[in-house]
Amino acid sequence: MTASDAPWLRHLRTEVRTRLRARHVTQASLAAYLGISPKHINQILAGKVVGSPDLLARMAEAMGMEITVVTTGREPVPLAEDKRPWLSGNRTPRGKAADPHG
């Protein structure tokens, strides 16, 4: 899986495109607002490039969305979509109790 295939990023791209259509806003208008080229926004929304974390956050904010992620060492994972039980309690990925003293 490449970074642009990450589920949270696919969801972000889909939601941005949906909100653009619903608001009758063009990709070019969004690009101008963000200070990037229309080609770059098109490449991001098409999944050809990822975009910097700052740019993705600004794009989401411009569309009335918020990105909340946690890094796992592999890829950013949205907290709401993460189903791994060890993130919801005091368990480590291997199922061992975490040392509360570090």
Q: What is the pLDDT of residue 100?
A: 41
Q: Where are the alpha helices (DSSP H) in 7-82?
A: 7-23, 27-34, 38-46, 53-62
Kindly report, residue by residue over 3-29, the tens digit of the pLDDT. 667 888 898 999 999 999 999 999 999
Quote the pLDDT of residue 71: 59
d(CA 59, CA 42): 12
pLDDT at 20: 93
Tell me whether residue 36 is exposed, middle or buried, using C-beta atoms within 10 angstroms of its C-beta: 0 to 12, 13 to 18, 19 or more.
middle
3-87 in CATH: which number?
A: 1.10.260.40
By CB neighbour count within 10 A (0-12 exposed, 13-18 middle, 19+ buried), where does 12 fall? Answer: buried
Would you state the structure tokens that stand for residue 87, as one six-digit string?
């993130």
- Asked if the model's pLDDT at residue 87 lies above 50, the reply is no
Domain boundaries, the chain: 3-87
